[in-house]
Structure 1
Amino acid sequence: MVVAERKPIKEILEMMAGYKKILLVGCKGCVTVCCAGGTKEVGILASALRIARKKDGNPIEIVEYTLERQCDPEYIEQVSSIVEGDGVEAILSMACSVGPQYMAKRYAVPVYPALNTTFIGGSLEHGVWAEFCQACGNCVIHHFGGICPVSRCSKSLFNGPCGGSAGGKCEISKEVDCAWHLIYERMKALGRLDDMAKIFPIKDWSTSRDGGPRKVVREDMRL
């Protein structure tokens, strides 16, 4: 899932400083799962903004709404009556960065991001998420025991550890596992240590962001 976290309240207040009425819109997708932008978080942020603005003698009216997703045009349409007919001066989006971009494309009002999009990852424990994928466009984890060296090795190395790890931890921090230690242990458990002798060529990054904005087209699904 896409993992995001809310911007500091001070930064959000600065973005909303000139507005009297806004639409605060959440997303029931990834940011709900990582507790950053679901219905609950929309309510919490709305309350915090109202309290802060009232304290400053500059109250703000906030319309709260949570969409099923903000990355699909059909869901964006659900707030059209609010944005276009309810005097909303700006939209504050609690979605990954795709959400506010879709909102900005559709509506003729200023759109602001309430979240910082951080990475593609998963849950380690309740309230803790970690990066597992950089969306490089050419998945190779089957060569490495199901562990991604691109995202989980601090140096994105393809051919073994750098030599700076110790005790299974990366040299950048004792809190970070050495991905190649994990790969070794996994390959050993699978009886595939001989595969680690293979030399992989320099990665072709043309499938990643370095090739420009990417697009996936499924002709069998197009209308």
Structure 2
Amino acid sequence: MIISEKKPFEEVIDYLKDSQKVVLTGCSLCASTCKVGGEEEVLAMKAKLEENGKTVLGYKILDPSCNLLKTRKDLKALKDELKEADAVLSLACGDGTQTVAKLVKNSVYPANNTLFIGEVERVGQYAEACRACGSCQLGWTGGICPVTMCAKGLLNGACGGARDGKCEVDPENDCAWIAIYNKLKEQDKLENLVEIREPRDYQISAHPRKIDLKDK
């Protein structure tokens, strides 16, 4: 899931300093789960903007905001409002915000900061789990990602700087490679650590990336 958090309202209102009439868009998936882009949050933003003298012409919870074709269709419900609006404020992740920006002529501003791809530990608690590196290593590391969980992204074992099982870069975090070792030991697969792994090929994660499944 894409994990996002709300921007400070002061930053949002500064984006809109030259805009009087605003349309709001949210997202039914990740942003809703993170409590930053569902209907409740969109309506709260609407009220706050109106308290600050803005006119909110309408809103739409896109389903989801990052689906280009679906969003194009959903935005037709705001056709008249978008013609009149000075700006669109997107309560989605960066991907969803960019999708909206592709489809409208208005200035589109983000209401959220996109943080990471993560797992939902419980409502309101999220943990980074994947950096979308383009070459998944989970098959030999016991399901623990060294690219994400190791602060140095090492593919060939621990750096030797851990203290009491904690990462030397951030002592709040457990050393990923100690966790990988323990997991592989439980699975009787410590031989996975003997092979020297090739350095990461950063070319496969060069940005921006695209994929067309029709070519597969």
Structure 1 position 65 matched with structure 2 position 60: yes
Structure 1: gaps spanning 5 or more residues = none
Structure 2: gaps spanning 5 or more residues = none
> Could you tell me how far 1:18 is from its partner in structure 2?
1.9
Which runs of structure 2 are paired with 1:1-223 in the superposition (5 Å)?
1-51=1-51, 53=52, 58-77=53-72, 78-85=74-81, 87-208=84-205, 210=206, 212-219=207-214
> Could you tell me how far 1:85 is from its partner in structure 2?
4.7
Q: Is the 8 A contact 2:7 2:111 kept in 1?
A: yes
Q: Distance in 1 between matches of 2:54 and 2:89?
A: 16
Q: Is the 8 A contact 2:57 2:81 kept in 1?
A: no
Name the aligned partner's letter for residue 170 of structure 2: S
SS at match of 2:171: coil
> Could you tell me how far 1:220 is from its partner in structure 2?
7.3
User: Compared with structure 1, are the counterparts of its residues 59 and 215 closer, same or farther at alpha carbon in structure 2 (3 Å cutoff)?
Assistant: closer
Name the aligned partner's letter for residue 80 of structure 1: K
CA RMSD of aligned residues (A): 1.8
Q: Distance in 2 between matches of 1:80 and 1:17?
A: 26
> Could you tell me how far 1:124 is from its partner in structure 2?
2.6
> Could you tell me how far 1:62 is from its partner in structure 2?
4.7
Q: Distance in 2 between matches of 1:149 and 1:69?
A: 30
Alignment TM-score, normalising by the size of structure 2: 0.91
- 1:125-150: CA deviations, max 9, x gaps? 33221111111111111110011101
Q: Is the 8 A contact 2:142 2:183 kept in 1?
A: yes
Name the aligned partner's letter for residue 85 of structure 2: V
Alignment TM-score, normalising by the size of structure 1: 0.89
> Could you tell me how far 1:71 is from its partner in structure 2?
1.3
Q: Is the 8 A contact 2:21 2:86 kept in 1?
A: yes
Number of residue pairs matched? 214
